[in-house]
Chain A
Amino acid sequence: MLSCKDITKLASDHIDNNLPPLMRMKVKMHLFMCHKCRDFVNQLRLTVNTLKNLNPVQPEESFVNKQANDLMEIARKLKSDDSSNNKH
């Protein structure tokens, strides 16, 4: 028999459909009988689905502007090096 502690360790693999069939069956049996673990698995699933709907952490706007300008500067420099190389 799997304990509640075991279930919490297997929960992500269960949610992601990543358990071998026999283990999946054992987890399902436990969940059928244990509402606490059912709560846990449902909450973890909700957590994962929330992450899927959430934009990743983004850098500060001031950083984005500065970085974008620096990169454009680099791109311009690379381009002009290229064209002066082609002339020779």
Chain B
Amino acid sequence: MEYPNELELIKHLIDGDEKAYRYVVQAYHNNMLYVARSIVGPAIADEVVQEAWVSVIKALPKFEGRSSLKTWVIRIVSNNAKTRLRRESRNVAMGDASDMEALNVPSERFQENGHWSSPPQQWNIASPDALLVSDELKNTIYTTIEKLPPIQQSIVTLRDMEAMPMLEICKVLDITESNSRVLLHRARAKIWQAIEKYQGNQNVKL
């Protein structure tokens, strides 16, 4: 990325540099959207994110650098979304109840005694670099993430891809740490399944 540090980036934003604006939209917008969807639901998430962007721009000159800019932005979206939720006194199911029954690895893959009946397939790749060489596989992973329930999308993106601390994520999404760990595992297990399926198709082709 072209900015040596965040202060430089913020300076460019305050000066109205188009490149800096494109950079932050690219880097932050989807994360903001995931967090908003997790809290207020998909219907008004876009609106909440747009409001949050305006708050961000207004508050930018006052940013003190006590957290990273990304964390600060995510907190603003989260606060805006929570305020919006209270104002509309809407009840959106947090913690994606619809998915509560789903097991991490489908139970059809186990015998009644809990042993594997359909064990993991062998993978013919052994490093992340090797996995990411294939655009097809990259797209499979992206599509799987896009299809996850919003709260799992937020957690797996912020934790595994953005390396945000788990406690920060819990605060932003207003969930307990044990709940967040369950949801993180569920998201990872779905991505594992998608990679396994992709691997299986590759083996058929070979």
Contact = CB atoms under 8 A, between A and B. Distances in A.
Given A44-B189, A47-B188, A67-B29, A72 B16 contact: yes
B21 A71 contact: yes
Given A3-B114, A5-B107, A57-B142, A36 B181 contact: no
B57 A50 contact: no
A68 B21 contact: yes
Contact of A12 (B115, B157, B181, B195): B181
B120 A5 contact: no
Interface in A34-61: 36-37, 39-40, 43-44, 46-59
B29 A46 contact: no
A52 B129 CA distance: 11
A53 B129 contact: yes
Contacts of B128: 46, 49-50, 52-53
B25 A67 contact: yes
Main secondary structure of the interface of A (DSSP, over half): helix
Main secondary structure of the interface of B (DSSP, over half): helix
B191 interface: yes
B193 to A, nearest CB: 9
Nearest to B195: A47
Interface in B101-142: 104-105, 107, 110, 113-116, 119-120, 122-123, 125-129, 131-132, 138, 141-142
Most chain-B CB neighbours within 10 Å: which of A48, A57, A63? Answer: A57
Interface residues of B, number: 53
17 contacts: A4-B114, A11-B104, A12-B185, A12-B188, A18-B181, A47-B191, A50-B195, A52-B161, A56-B162, A57-B30, A57-B142, A63-B25, A67-B25, A67-B53, A72-B18, A72-B21, A75-B57
Interface of B: 13, 16, 18, 21-22, 25-26, 29-31, 53-54, 57-58, 104-105, 107, 110, 113-116, 119-120, 122-123, 125-129, 131-132, 138, 141-142, 145-146, 156-157, 160-163, 181, 184-185, 188-189, 191-192, 195-196
